Amino acid sequence: MRASPTILPLRLSGVAYDVGGRRLVEGIDLVLSGPGRVIVLGPNGAGKSLFLRLCHGLLSPTQGKVEWLGPGASLKARRHLLVAQRPVMLRRSVLGDIIHALNLAGLGWTARRTAARAALERFGMTALADRPARILSGGEQQRLALARAWALRPEVLFLDEPTANLDPSATRAVEAMIDAFHAEGTKVVMTTHDLGQARRLADEILFMDRGRLIERAPAGAFFEAPHAPAAAAFLRGDLPW
């Protein structure tokens, strides 16, 4: 589907991040590549959202480096996107919101309209096209954010708790969209609190605890027998603190 050269692998070396003198992310060394879906698990405050923002470049690490090593990384176009837990909706129509994102990506007048309609069409959201984006329901907003991301054809998609606060049917719709990204070759890296969702979607698990990446394992092995005691406790649903 994508002709342009890859931006992967993504390498984090010794990444740490401080806020107001407090170290919230510490010593992350990691190389991400390949097609598998990566799910970042961990309790609240483990630094999962910060991790995604550091990878995406919205935050600059206090220490260490975040580098995209692939041959496509030097190109100007942004090939990775982040969809936040509560995605920002512009004060425009659903279609206008997607068109705006495509405009920033440098598409021409006609191309961005065509691509925006195609994205809505792709996910059966054409009926929403002219609705003001901000009055959509939470589930519809999350789907719009994913359709907007899809229109931009990212190679890597970071998702921060995409189904937090959504009901089961909205969650199912969002997961179907995530599947579509995966099927079409986008590497998905997402955080979730929903262990069932992690089991459904994950190819690989990153487990974070108190700002550190303490376990990385294929999903099957992780859910079978996590190595780190904190990960085991997390899976059992212990409330250690």
Partner 1 sequence: MNEIVDAFAAAAALVLSADPAFLEIVGLSLRVTLTAVAVAVAIGLPAGALLAIARFPGRGALVVLFNALMGMPPVVAGLVIYLLLSRSGPLGTLGLLFTPTGMVMAQAVLVLPIVLSIARQVIESLWAEYEEHLRSLGSSALRAVPTLLWDGRYSLITGILAGFGRASAEVGAVMIVGGNIAGATRTMTTAITLETGKGNLPLALGLGMVLLSLTLAINIAAHLVALVGQRRSG
List interacting residues with partner 1 (CB under 8 A): 56, 58, 78, 81-82, 84, 87-88, 90-92, 100-101, 104-105, 132, 134-135, 152
Q: How far is the CB of 217 from partner 1 (least distance, A)?
A: 29
CB closer to partner 1 out of 22 and 76: 76
Residue 173: how many CA atoms within 13 Å on its side-chain side? 18
CB closer to partner 1 out of 147 and 202: 147
CB closer to partner 1 out of 23 and 100: 100
CB closer to partner 1 out of 55 and 219: 55
Q: How far is the CB of 86 from partner 1 (least distance, A)?
A: 10
Q: How far is the CB of 43 from partner 1 (least distance, A)?
A: 24
Instruction: Give the number of other Cβ atoms within 10 Å of residue 79's Cβ.
Output: 21
Q: How far is the CB of 100 from partner 1 (least distance, A)?
A: 7
Q: How far is the CB of 2 from partner 1 (least distance, A)?
A: 18
Q: How far is the CB of 216 from partner 1 (least distance, A)?
A: 25
CB closer to partner 1 out of 89 and 219: 89
Query: Does 87 sit behind a cis peptide bond, omega within 30 degrees of 0 on the bond before it?
Result: no
CB closer to partner 1 out of 6 and 85: 85
With CA atoms as reference, report the closest residue to 67 among 85, 50, 80, 83: 80
Query: Cα separation of 109 and 184, whole Å?
Result: 26
Q: How far is the CB of 74 from partner 1 (least distance, A)?
A: 15
CB closer to partner 1 out of 80 and 212: 80
Instruction: Give the number of other Cβ atoms within 10 Å of residue 109's Cβ.
Output: 9
